[in-house]
Amino acid sequence: MRYLISFILLLLMASCQAKTIVVDSGGFGDAASLASAITMASSGDTILLKPGNYSGAIVDRSLIINGSDQVKLDGSLIIIAPGCKITNLATKSIGRDPAIVLQSTDNLLVRCKVSGTSIGIRATGDGNTLLDCNVDASQGTCMELLGKRCKVLNSTFLGNVGIKMNGTIQNTIAGCEIQATQGVLMDLSIKNRIEKNSFYGSAFGVVLSRSSSNQILENNISGTYISGIDVTDSKENNITGNFISGGKLGISLRGSQGNNVTENVCQKNERAGIYGDGAAYNYLSYNELSENGNGILLSGSSENGLKSNNASRNIYGISLRGSKGNVLRDNVMFANSYNLRIDEGESSSAHLAASGHDFYVQDMDESNLVDGRPICYLIDEADLVAPSVCGFLGIISCKNITALNLSISNSSAGILAVNSTNLKIADSSVSRSENGIYLKDCSAWTVKDCRAANCQIGYAASSSSDGTFKNDLASNCSEEGFRADDSLNLSLQNCSAKSCSTGIYLMRSRLCNILDCRVDQNREAGIQLTSSDRCSLIGNVATLNDQGIALAGSNECVLMNNRAEANQRDGISLVQLLIGELQDNDAIGNAQGIFVQSSKKLLIKGNNMSENSRNGLRMSGAVGCNITDNRLQSNQIAGANLVDCTANFLYHNLFLDNAVHNAVDNNQNQWDAGPNDGGNYWSDHRVEGNPGDVPIQIPSKGVDRYPFQDPGGWL
């Protein structure tokens, strides 16, 4: 009896052992289709697929399904039972259905090749694992990962979207190669881990949207991504040790808070290695940033911590634009075109601050270095002398600050002064900066004996007043040597601007004085005023510029004792002026001596307009001007050429030996002051008497009724 019982137990045990079901489409196995084999199988059984093409199926019991390189499934494989293991299958979906659906938990896919038109794999169950698989969904999404605690390991993805995650938690994607327009898209997901993957694509590498506490670690992200890692409205994520190159943005933090961005390498990204837009309380540390547009660019961002970042060979090292209250410690910037930039940024940041001055309030100490020298950033200080060793000097809301003997290069503004009074900057040099010395909203300041070379703008004053540039030199600046915008009562004394685009440029600035300055070889105007009223230009020399001195829309200005010589176009140009005085200036050897267009009520007196290659004086559309006591001699076309001008009064001028005509007038202007005071002297018209009574006809309409016998006969 005991032996019989043992034999029965052995039979029962044998009947409970897992079995292998062979599927052969040629009819030589246990089943001809996968669906039939699943029907025959029990949980724990193995299904072995012989080479061939098979239809998809629903797996409703826990099975091991093994294939080979020559096994292909057409149609979806839907797994609804837990604990299945699928190996070496090539599956292809039909239509827009996923190729593989993992609805259940704890399944394992190994070495599978999956292709789908719309979706390759959809995983809604928890604890599933994908290992050494290849997923191709070139027109759609390779994998939708909606379950929890899943693992995607050492797999390859090719598609429009690599992996899309929504509402997930504690998943891991590691060791994968993802070649997709968009790599991993994560929304409303927490505590996931994206580690040691390679990404290549053109839109976004890794996207975190409304997600928190995720780990993005040691990934290699290349291609032409808009953003390698894009963090939007997300918080407390850890982004560490990633290598990102070749896109527009390396790491982007948009509207995100409390994220840790550490030890990443971002290089050759067009706009920025790390970019923050509306970002706050993030910690950026120990990142290597090279050959980007900006190493770090924060726009409209506040209260972020930047520590021990290394920014080199970028266009801008660190840029803080429209941002406030950021803390910078131990950052190193070197060999950037412009190491440090701080400004108000775009107007969209205005709501962040009560005043634009707040955007310059940053917590920055001398532990930060630019080209090996400390950043000196003074806020609310008074009665100090700035250290002469500064590699960058910021003076924010200060009083009575003196800066002497500085030598600064490669910054957005070498010396930046904002909302400060009673400043003295002297004996300093700034080179290769956007703005050599920049004063914004400052008053009662002096910049003296300084040199600015190879900058975009040598010296700039914006919304500033009662300041003086004295004995300063600007050379080889790509824009202006000196520029003032919206400023009041500025004085430029004995300054020089050479080989810039424009030497001295005033825009919307009033009551300014330009005295005894020299502007040479500038590509546009030597001195240019636009919409700048009641300014005085006295004793200046403008030579070898495109235009010597040019005023546009600048009323009630006085130009006196200036010399404009050998300029390519106009010596002095006056356009759209109402009331102005032009007295005792020399405009000689230019293409045109003095040019007046669309202007009214100008006094043009005592000027020498001679030896110009075109006209001494050319006027177009001018009305009511008084032109007297001028010398117009040896010009190659005409001494005076008036086109469509009316009611101008020209008398007591010397017209001497001009090549084609001494004067030309096609409209109604007055060329004499009557029989007592007379008209002008004409070298080509002989009369007797001072004045005489033999009129001279001026082509084509003008007439001087009382020309003079002798030059200066009216004296």
- CA-based radius of gyration for the chain: 40
> 402, 306 in Cβ contact below 8 A?
no
**Residue 11 in domain:** no
Residue range 35-42: average pLDDT?
Answer: 93
Q: Are residues 63 and 156 in the same domain?
A: yes
> Domain boundary at 521, 547, 579, which?
521
Please classify residue 469 by burial: count the beta carbons closer than 10 Å to its beta carbon, then call 0-12 exposed, 13-18 middle and 19+ buried: buried
The mean pLDDT value for 280-306 works out to 98
Supply the pLDDT for residue 354.
Answer: 72
Question: Does residue 347 have a pLDDT over 70?
Answer: no
Residues 162 and 28 both lie in one domain: yes
Residues 149 and 244 in one domain: no
The string of pLDDT tens digits covering residues 54-110 is 999 999 999 999 998 789 999 999 999 999 999 999 999 888 889 999 999 999 999
Q: What is the structure's pLDDT at 660?
A: 93
Position 138 scores a pLDDT of: 79
pLDDT at 16 over 80: no
Q: How many domains does the chain have?
A: 4
Cα separation, 331 vs 363, in Å, equals 13
- Model confidence pLDDT, tens digit, residues 500-512: 999 999 999 999 9
Are 184 and 169 in the same domain?
yes
Longest dimension (CA), the chain: 163
Token readout for 643 is 């086109």
Mention every residue, 6+ apart, whose C-beta is less than 8 A from residue 207.
Answer: 182, 183, 184, 185, 186, 227, 229, 230, 232
Residues 424 and 35: their CA atoms lie apart, in Å, by 88
* pLDDT score of 129 more than 60: yes
- Structural domain for 483, as ranges: 393-521
What is the predicted pLDDT for the residue at 9?
A: 41
Average pLDDT over residues 454-470: 98
Alpha-carbon torsion, ordered 493, 499, 500, 503, to 10 deg: 30
387 belongs to a structural domain: no
Q: Does 647 fall in a domain?
A: yes
- Among the candidates 166, 201, 236, a domain finishes at 201
Range name among 99-108, 311-320, 354-363, 571-580 with the lowest pLDDT average: 354-363
Co-location of 510 and 367 in the same domain: no
Q: Give, in degrees to the nearest 5, the angle at Cα 608 between 603 and 610.
A: 130
37 SS3 class: helix
The verdict on residue 361 lying in a domain is yes
* Residue 349 reports pLDDT greater than 80: no
- In the chain, % of residues over pLDDT 70: 97
Residues 143 and 152: their CA atoms lie apart, in Å, by 10
Q: What is the pLDDT of residues 161-172, one digit of tens each?
A: 999 999 999 999
For residue 379, tell me if it sits in a domain.
no
Examine residue 176 and state whether it is found in any structural domain, yes or no: yes
Residue 28 domain flag: yes
Q: Which SS3 state, helix, strand or coil, does residue 267 take?
A: strand
pLDDT of residue 117: 82
Beta strand pairing call for 696-698 and 702-704: antiparallel
Percent of the chain with pLDDT strictly greater than 90: 92
Residues in the chain: 715
Same domain? For 161 and 245 the reply is no
The residue with tokens 């002051």 is: 673
pLDDT at 18: 87
Q: What is the DSSP string of 378-421?
A: EES-EEEE--TT-SEEEEES-EEEEEES-EEESSSEEEEEES-E
DSSP element (H, E) containing 36: helix 34-40
Residues 696 and 552 in one domain: yes
Kindly compute the dihedral angle of the four CA atoms of residues 461, 464, 470, 475, in this order, to the nearest 10 degrees: 0
Q: Quote the CA–CA distance of 649 and 279 in Å, as a whole number.
A: 65
Is a pLDDT exceeding 80 seen at residue 8? Answer: no
pLDDT of residue 353: 66
The pLDDT value recorded for residue 712 is 93
Residues 414 and 360 in one domain: no
pLDDT digit string (tens) for 654-698?
999 999 999 999 999 999 999 999 999 999 999 999 999 999 999
Q: Is residue 72 part of a domain?
A: yes
Structure-block tokens of residue 479:
């824009």
Do 580 and 553 touch, CB atoms closer than 8 A? no
Task: Please check whether residues 27 and 142 belong to one and the same domain.
Answer: yes
> Strand 373-379 to strand 369-370: parallel, antiparallel, or no bridges (unpaired)?
antiparallel
Q: Render pLDDT for 598-608 as a digit per residue (tens, 0 to 9).
A: 999 999 999 99
Give the N- to C-terminal CA distance of the chain in Å, as an integer: 155
Give the separation between CA 313 and CA 290, rounded to whole angstroms.
5
* Pair (314, 346) in one structural domain: yes
Q: pLDDT confidence of 364, banded at 50, 70, 90?
A: very high
CA 284 to chain centre: 21
pLDDT above 60 (res 7)? no
Angular region, 37: left φ>0, alpha ψ -120 to 50, beta rest: alpha
Three-class SS of residue 348? helix
C-alpha 559 chain-centroid distance = 39
C-alpha–C-alpha distance, residues 75 and 56, integer Å: 4
Q: State the pLDDT at residue 507.
A: 98
| Domain limit, last residue, from 311, 340, 371 | 371
pLDDT at 17 over 80: no
Shared domain for 219 and 148, answered yes or no, is no
Q: Which SS3 state, helix, strand or coil, does residue 9 take?
A: helix
Residues 96 and 109 in one domain: yes
